[in-house]
Amino acid sequence: MVAEAQIKSQSKNSAKEFEKLLNEDFKDRKLKENQIIKATVTEITKNFIVVDCKAKMEGMIPVEEFKNDNELDKLKVGSVIDVYLERIESFKGEIVISREKARRMNAWKKMEKFFETKEELVGYITGRVKGGYICNVDGLPTFMPASQIDVRPLKRIDHLMNVPVKVIATRIDKNRGNVCTSRRAVLEKSKDAEVKEVLKNLKEGDIVENAKCKAITDWGIFLDINGIDALLHVSDLSHGRVKKTSEMVSIGQTLKVKITKIDPKTNRVSASIKALTEDPYGSVEKKYKIGEVYDGVCTKLMDYGVFVRLEEGIEGLIHSSELSWTSKNLHPSKVLSVSQTIKVKIVSIDVQSKRISLSYKATLDNPWKKVEDSVNSIVSVKVKSITDKYILAELDNGLSGMLHYKELSFNEDDEDLKKYKKNQIIKVKIVEVKDEKIKLSVRALEKDPIDWFRENKKKVGDVITTTVQEVMKSGVKVSVGNDKRFLIVIKKSQLAKESSDQRPEIFQNGNKLDAAITDLNLAERKVSLSVKQAQIEEEKSLVKKFGKDAKSSGATLKDIFNKALNITKKKDNKKKKN
């Protein structure tokens, strides 16, 4: 056991001595582990690259470590490359070196330097990952977000795969080993330089003959002016209204434009076509007068009106309310059509806002003037619609009039509406035209039965004889004279002086009732009657007439009424005999 331990100790000491001698030998050759050293290619085989590192023996590197950036194709015997020295000698007695680690370390150093200086690097886009792409820069895989591959979104990037592309390092996290790169930043930097160079020779007010249309949108056109982008807004296409930008220009078309604005901070350029010509609105007030009629062409129909071109660059708007005298909520397509030539009247001109208000109906005969002269005329109308309050009827001139249920009969009962139906032709009287509203009446065709009170000079307090026409729970309806068209309601509480006699059911149609006028307003056609009040007045009259005899004879109120009744009967019998 002692001998064995001695042998092991001697072996251990021998290994240390050998390693010491080896390190001293490599020290003379200036080789240190964990650093990058220079190596010369001495042989290229199918699987390995053999290099001389000035060490005791040659090193072998797998060819896979040279496939990035197509380095293997460039290698030849005698080429000097960087390698990373991991071990001077392994347990197999071989030197351990790596081309890949050397490339990564060099790439990190270069990346850190170029990140600080924002210098351009050359990389290879090798694959797609979530949210972007892998870009290999000197063997170091970096992440390139999809938004950073170009200045505009690309549907396909086949033409950029595995080819040299210029990039800039935008973010580095050495602890995590993450690097973000951007091709877009290089393109924008190059574009900015080009734009600045072009803008040196371009100024506001310049006229460009060869502006090329690149893209068309609803709100404007993008132009290429000597390699820089410019915007031609839809409002700068023409002095007039533009229907569609695509109808005025096409992709690739060359245009003559005027530079109207250059923003040095953003390098944005605005151009205009209409600025090349004189604004026709400058002389619009000289050419067109408010109240005058002119010819125009309908260019566009909208829900709210019609645009009409008076001349090139000058358009006006006919509001929907100015299309027809007879219809207020009429869609323009029901009256006019695009490209139709019409006459219009100028309503207003706003030069500053470049707005001209027009009227189409003002050039047509106004039916309202004619109907105003037709008040009290009797006309035939057609029932258009019936509501719970009125009938809307159409006159022969297209205008509509309102026939309220109170104007259907003198009873002023909304039940009268049920007697009419849609499209029925009826005769009415035009009783009023005001604020473009026509009031019609059916009952105005006949004599008003309330005139009976006026003709007979009746007043409040007078007692009149009425005829029962309808018995209701709440009272009775009675007529006066021989006219049954105007019925007056006598309320239940007014049917008798005594509450026990205030029963509508004791009356029948045709019964005569004497009632006192308690309210009379002929202007508002209001009449109130009371049998109760008539009885009270009659009692007062009897007491007044027969009261003196009653005092001397001691007669009661009942005796007075009986005496008055007998006198009345004798008078009636005498009249019958005669």
Encoded tokens for 63: 């060819």
Residues 395 and 420 sit within 8 Å (Cβ to Cβ): no
Kindly write down the DSSP assignment for every residue of 265-331, as one continuous string.
TTTEEEEESGGGS--GGGGHHHH--TT-EEEEEEEEEETTEEEEEEETTEEEEEEGGGS-SS-SS--
d(CA 49, CA 69): 16
365 DSSP 8-state letter: -
- pLDDT tens-digit profile of 240-249? 777 788 878 8
pTM more than 0.75: no
pLDDT recorded at residue 240: 74
Q: Is the CATH code 3.40.50.720 the one for domain 118-188?
A: no
* Residues 6 or more apart in contact with residue 492 via CB below 8 angstroms: 473, 474, 475, 502, 503, 504
- pLDDT tens-digit profile of 394-416? 888 888 899 999 989 887 888 88
Residues 223 and 255 sit within 8 Å (Cβ to Cβ): yes
Helix (H) / strand (E) element for 566: namely helix 557-577
CATH class of 367-445: mainly beta
Of 2.40.50.140, 3.30.470.20, 3.40.190.10, 2.130.10.10, the CATH number of 281-359 is: 2.40.50.140
d(CA 316, CA 281): 12
Encoded tokens for 217: 């949108």
Tell which CATH architecture fits domain 452-578.
Answer: Beta Barrel (2.40)
CATH topology of domain 202-276: OB fold (Dihydrolipoamide Acetyltransferase, E2P) (2.40.50)
Segments making up each domain of the chain, as ranges? 25-103, 118-188, 202-276, 281-359, 367-445, 452-578
The answer to whether domain 281-359 and domain 452-578 are alike in fold is yes
Q: What is the pLDDT along the chain (578 residues), one digit of tens a residue?
A: 444 554 455 555 555 565 555 555 545 456 788 888 898 888 888 889 888 888 778 888 888 888 766 778 888 898 888 888 888 877 777 888 888 888 888 888 888 888 888 888 899 999 999 999 999 888 788 999 999 999 888 888 999 999 999 999 999 987 888 899 999 998 888 877 777 777 788 888 889 898 899 888 888 899 988 878 889 898 888 877 777 888 788 898 999 999 899 887 777 889 998 888 888 888 888 899 999 999 999 999 999 999 999 998 899 999 999 998 887 778 999 999 999 999 999 999 998 888 999 999 999 988 888 888 888 888 999 999 999 999 999 888 888 899 999 989 887 888 889 999 999 999 999 989 888 889 999 988 888 888 888 888 989 999 999 999 999 999 999 999 888 888 899 999 999 988 888 899 999 999 999 999 999 998 888 899 999 999 998 888 887 776 655 444 445 555 555 555 555 545 445 444 44
445 DSSP 8-state letter: G
CA angle centred on 561, ends 557 and 564, rounded to 5°:
135
> What CATH superfamily classification does 25-103 receive?
Nucleic acid-binding proteins (2.40.50.140)
Phi/psi of residue 106, each to 5°?
-65, -40
Residues 140 and 101 sit within 8 Å (Cβ to Cβ): no
Encoded tokens for 71: 């380095």
